[in-house]
Amino acid sequence: MTATGHEYAAEAARLLLETRSVLINARQPFTYTSGRQGPVYVDCRRLISFPAQRGRLMDMGAALLRARSGRHDFVAGGETAGIPFAALLAERMNLPMLYVRKKPKGFGRMAQIEGCMDDPGRNVLLVEDLQTDGGSKKVFIDALRAAGAVVDHAFVIFHYGIFPASEKNMKEAGVTLHALTDWWAVLEEARANGAFDQETLESVEAFLHNPEKWTAREAI
């Protein structure tokens, strides 16, 4: 399940455009973590270098989560892009933080989860930078649950919001995804402020309406 359509989407989209975290290249499509390809990419990792913008995004994220996701005992960042944003959110929400590796490290305690969560049954909010189809979240969710955590909610700054598998994967995992913004909000803001030329925006819109058709056409 995905929670969208809130008051922060337009402002978050503007901040992504302002920091040049939105990349478009129809001639050389990007490959996403899921293996899919498309002409659009959002590089949320850039945001850590912009204190004013990242601060506002995290303020909005904390407010959104307080309003929509209930009580949490921990904030957990997914390796690696989720870690800085988990730290920033944990500070704002005055919660202890964890971070989760994609696989256990090969030495020492062989830990997959770093931090201290001694008691089972604690509510943990999973944080990553963005989501395409949600497939990569399963590793982190499974690791946290194996350690005794309750994981019902996840947060990302940006959700592609165009792949049906995203909703399906979250539903199957029993997790509600909270996102500050998505491609539709970014497209609207890009049009409003002239961030890209009309031809580029039309190509992006064609992709957003039918990613599979766009990818198949470009592959010819």
Q: Is the pLDDT of residue 5 over 70?
A: no
Q: What confidence score (pLDDT) does residue 220 get? A: 46
Q: What is the rounded CA–CA span in Å between residue 199 and residue 106?
A: 49
pLDDT digits (tens, 9 = 90+) for 53-106: 999 999 999 999 999 998 999 999 999 999 999 999 999 999 999 999 998 875
pLDDT, one tens digit per residue, over 133-175 is 998 899 999 999 999 999 999 999 999 999 899 999 999 999 9
Only one residue has tokens 């989407």, namely 9
CB 165 within 8 A of CB 133: yes
Q: What rounded mean pLDDT belongs to the chain?
A: 91
In the predicted structure, residue 108 carries a pLDDT above the cut 50: no
**CA pair distance 17, 14, nearest whole angstrom:** 5
Q: What is the pTM of this model?
A: 0.92
Percentage of residues of the chain with pLDDT beyond 70: 93
Using CA atoms, how far apart are residues 48 and 19, in angstroms rounded to an integer?
Answer: 10
31 band by pLDDT with thresholds 50, 70 and 90: confident
Return the beta strands (E) in the chain as ranges.
2-3, 22-24, 30-31, 37-38, 40-42, 74-78, 97-100, 113-114, 123-127, 130-131, 150-159, 176-182
- Which domains are assigned to the chain? 2-209 (3.40.50.2020)
